[in-house]
Amino acid sequence: MRTFSAILLVVVMVVAMAAAPATAGYKDQWAKFRTTITDRPDSKIVCFTVMPWPWKCACAPAPPPPPAPVDSDGDGVVDGIDQCPGTPRGATVDARGCPSDSDGDGVFNGIDQCPDTPRGATVDARGCPSDSDGDGVLDGIDKCPNTPAGTKVDETGCPVEVKKFVDTGLITTTAILFDLDKATLKPESKTELDRLGAILIQVPELVVEIGGHTDATGTDAYNVKLSDARAKAVHDYLEANFPQIAGDNLVSKGYGESTPVASNKTKEGRAQNRRVEFKIVK
């Protein structure tokens, strides 16, 4: 009785489907019927038994749709073909799915917002370099990264006088000024002192003597004492403002009027003799 009922049900449904117009609704009914009739094992047997030949194909389950391709890293190259499956989002890739880094800064093209960074420069997550001391030479390339603002530097980012200082072993300046007959630094000396400090911090391994010199005005003993105090004032300023300079590598000494570089008989000559010298001693 159960088998007869199933056969009768199939016949009625087939007749109803055949009589229905070929509309979207008909197609939906047919799909539903096909799914229902092929999902049950006993229904498949009935279907093949009673279904006219042209419609027997409806008794077989519909083939599953092919799986959609997967692109795990979203770079446009599907898994299996992608030879660089872990590419960061936003990076541009080649046909193999591999990113490139044209400027070699470690940030991939497509993510790199500064794509022409010079080789050797350090960059942030956006691929953009920095210039911490503002001297025009990028961090990573700059061999003297702490140059004070306004200091003239070479292509390596170091003050142009560093090499000259190392080669000659001497820097002489008359731009460090003191109050009359005192060892008190004048405010206008700060620019020169900072310039010299920027040079000295690039050669912290060298022992440098700060020598104080005077003109011949006054007694020799007085001038030795005054020049020694002035040299010490320069030493103390540099030590306080440039901690990169090791204290033991910076010494001071007063020479008084003993080593003039010009005549003490003229105002101009005396001005040249009132000087501070930085000399490499070791």
Where along the chain do its domains lie? 2-59, 73-129, 161-280
What is the pLDDT at residue 22?
A: 45
* CA-to-CA dists, residue 27 to 59, 123, 143, angstroms: 16, 62, 77
Please check the confidence at residue 246 and state whether its pLDDT lies above 90: no
Sequence-ordered list of residues with C-beta below 8 angstroms from that of 229, at least 6 positions apart, any chain: 183, 212, 254
Backbone angles phi, psi at 278, to 5 degrees: -110, 115
Which amino acid belongs to residue 166? V
What is the pLDDT at residue 24?
A: 45
What is the pLDDT at residue 11?
A: 52
> pLDDT-derived band of residue 77, with 50, 70 and 90 as boundaries?
very high
Token readout for 163 is: 């090499």
Q: Which helix (H) or strand (E) holds 112?
A: none
* CA-to-CA dists, residue 195 to 8, 26, 153, 190, 228, angstroms: 106, 92, 11, 8, 22
Average pLDDT, the chain: 84
What is the pLDDT at residue 202?
A: 85
Average pLDDT over residues 80-100: 94
Sequence-ordered list of residues with C-beta below 8 angstroms from that of 270, at least 6 positions apart, any chain: 215, 216, 217, 262, 264
Report which DSSP code applies to 81. T
The answer as to CATH 2.60.40.10 being correct for domain 161-280 is no
Token readout for 149 is: 């603002």
Q: Which position has the higher pLDDT, 145 or 53?
A: 145
**CA neighbours within 13 Å on the CB side: how many for 52?**
7
Please check the confidence at residue 128 and state whether its pLDDT lies above 50: yes
What is the pLDDT at residue 67?
A: 87
Range name among 145-149, 163-167, 253-257 with the lowest pLDDT average: 145-149
Give the other-Cβ count within 10 Å of 49's Cβ.
12
Average pLDDT over residues 82-86: 94
Chain mean position to CA 200: 28
Per-residue pLDDT of 181-223, as tens digits, reads 999 999 999 999 998 998 898 888 899 999 999 999 999 999 9
Please check the confidence at residue 12 and state whether its pLDDT lies above 80: no
What is the pLDDT at residue 56?
A: 62
Please check the confidence at residue 38 and state whether its pLDDT lies above 60: no
